[in-house]
Amino acid sequence: MKLTLFAASGRTGAHVLHQALAAGHDVTAVVRNPDAVTAPVRIVRADLAAAETAVLKSAMDGCDAVISALGPRHHGEYGVASRGTRAIVHAMTAAGVRRLVVVSVAGISTIPTPSRPNPPKRDPGVGFFTRTVLSPLAKLRLQKHYEDVALMEHELRVSGLDWTSVQLPLLTDKPATGHYRIAYEQSVRGGFRIARADAAHFVLRAVGMPETVRHSVAVAY
């Protein structure tokens, strides 16, 4: 399969890149800093905070699917997920590519967006302690980034593309286990963490899972 991977040099994107190559996929890596990618792949340099559609389209021509592991590098980089995803969607439309899988964040389903002004008040997969203590603390600390990711999912819903949002909990750098659980449209019950390597494994799986199209799918242990 021919894939275009955004944020291929990030901590999660790098796992997706190496696993995709190991599986025999043809990958084009879209990154801010080409020197950060040492794998033998075609590289396109682009800053998703201010990307040109023509540059992104050139990275997608002839590809079967697009994967985005886009996210902020630091707390001050607010808005990159939603703006970058909007740019990716526009470029995919121009290139005639329909399949898109993006890395998202667990626990944002309750945040209002223009396409979901009245979301559920609680995530069915979240227990009492997480709902009343952990989630409020996380949202207080990362409020702007949660809102940005929620707006990113809004961009997916209005795109008309065959998208899947892979919602991840706390990420670790432990080795892959090959075992994890998934849940549609809610967090994985009791699933607080997952290794980046296992998250990347599911992201690649999701590309070929038509049942995930136009769904948010959480993955965790």
pLDDT of 129 strictly over 60? no
Provide the CATH number for the domain around residue 43.
3.40.50.720
Q: How many domains does the chain have?
A: 1
Sign of CA dihedral 28, 29, 34, 37: negative
Cα-based angle 148, 152, 157 (whole degrees, multiple of 5):
145
pLDDT in tens, 160-213: 999 999 999 999 999 999 999 999 999 999 898 999 999 999 999 999 999 999
Burial class (CB within 10 angstroms; exposed 0-12, middle 13-18, buried 19+) of 140: exposed
Identify the H or E element spanning 200: helix 196-207
- d(C-alpha 93, C-alpha 85), whole Å: 12
- d(C-alpha 167, C-alpha 181), whole Å: 12
Most confident of 77-81, 125-129, 140-144: 77-81
Please report the pLDDT score of residue 150 as a whole number: 92
pLDDT in tens, 7-46: 999 999 999 999 999 999 999 999 999 999 999 999 999 9
Please report the pLDDT score of residue 197 as a whole number: 98
Residue 201: what residue type? Answer: H
Determine if the pTM surpasses 0.85.
yes
Residue 172: what residue type? Answer: T
Please report the pLDDT score of residue 131 as a whole number: 55
Q: Could you tell me the residue range of the domain that residue 163 belongs to?
A: 2-220
Percent over 70 (pLDDT), the chain: 89
Res. 119 pLDDT band, cuts 50 70 90: confident
Q: Where are the alpha helices (DSSP H) in 70-124?
A: 80-95
Beta partners for 194?
Answer: 171
- d(C-alpha 14, C-alpha 22), whole Å: 12
Please report the pLDDT score of residue 187 as a whole number: 93
The CA distances from residue 27 to 23, 67, 70, 161, in Å, are 11, 10, 16, 20
